[in-house]
Amino acid sequence: MGKNRPTEPAKIIVTIDGPAGSGKSSTAQRVSEKLNYLYLDTGAMYRAITLKVIRGGIPSSQPEAVVRLLAETKITLRENDHSLIIYLDGEDVSELIRSPRVDVEIGWVCQLPEVRDRMVALQREIGREGGIVAEGRDMGTVVFPDAECKFYMVAGVEERGRRRWLQMQKRGIDISLEEIIADIRRRDKIDSERELSPLRRADDAVEIDTGNMTLEQQTEFIVQTVQEYLHKQ
């Protein structure tokens, strides 16, 4: 008589939303490593299409040109040694999509309904079987409204600006802290006031103020919350 095999742990969807610079990306990546889940950086997907728009010289006055561009664009996400590699039409653009120019242009590109529809469909396909940590601005409200564990990260504008500035310095990008804070304020306004999927906390999301928390503390809080949920199932 054969022994019963141990039940495979359930694979759920974890969403981490929040404004620019709130610490979503670093935390989501660490959480995915701890849970052995796929890290889904949805912001990188929008950045990739924005980079292609910039390369194509398409201005915001020509949204129809972006729609045509979408039809011939392939965005792929792959994990490599706990790092997420973003491919745009087969090219590794993981560093290129983090430029200040992309920061400026992404606002209008990601507001286009056709762009959002294409990205949301791709994101849902990736998360179809669970086992992902998805971070962005509308993961828990629009893309994965039925996700089992949702989190919403917040921090003051100055603190978010400081974090983003340090990231830019590490990449050798020369930009002032004041410029970054101004850009974050602009992004906050665009994200919260846009008609399509405005930035907001899902009603069932746990809010985390990261202003006085280390990356390790943020990670452990989310991992512990997810594990507690799984143990109850």
The secondary structure of 9-53 as a DSSP string is PP--EEEEE-STTSSHHHHHHHHHHHHT-EEEEHHHHHHHHHHHH
What mean pLDDT is reported for the chain?
Answer: 90
Q: Do residues 63 and 105 make contact, with C-beta atoms less than 8 angstroms apart? A: no
pLDDT score, position 6: 47
- Identify the band that residue 2 occupies on the pLDDT scale cut at 50, 70 and 90: very low
pLDDT score, position 8: 62
191: β partners:
none
pLDDT (average), residues 110-136:
93
The yes-or-no verdict on residue 41 having pLDDT over 80 is yes
Q: Which of 90, 71, 78 is nearest to 41 (CA)?
A: 78
pTM of the full structure: 0.85
DSSP letter, residue 98: G
Return the CATH fold of 13-225.
Rossmann fold (3.40.50)
pLDDT score, position 82: 63
Could you tell me the two tokens for 89?
């039409």
Q: Compute how many other C-beta atoms are within 10 angstroms of the C-beta atom of residue 19.
A: 19
Residue ranges covered by each domain of the chain: 13-225
Q: What are phi and psi of 136, to 5 degrees?
A: 175, -140
Q: Do residues 105 and 50 make contact, with C-beta atoms less than 8 angstroms apart? A: yes
Q: Do residues 151 and 232 make contact, with C-beta atoms less than 8 angstroms apart? A: no
Sequence-ordered list of residues with C-beta below 8 angstroms from that of 7, at least 6 positions apart, any chain: none
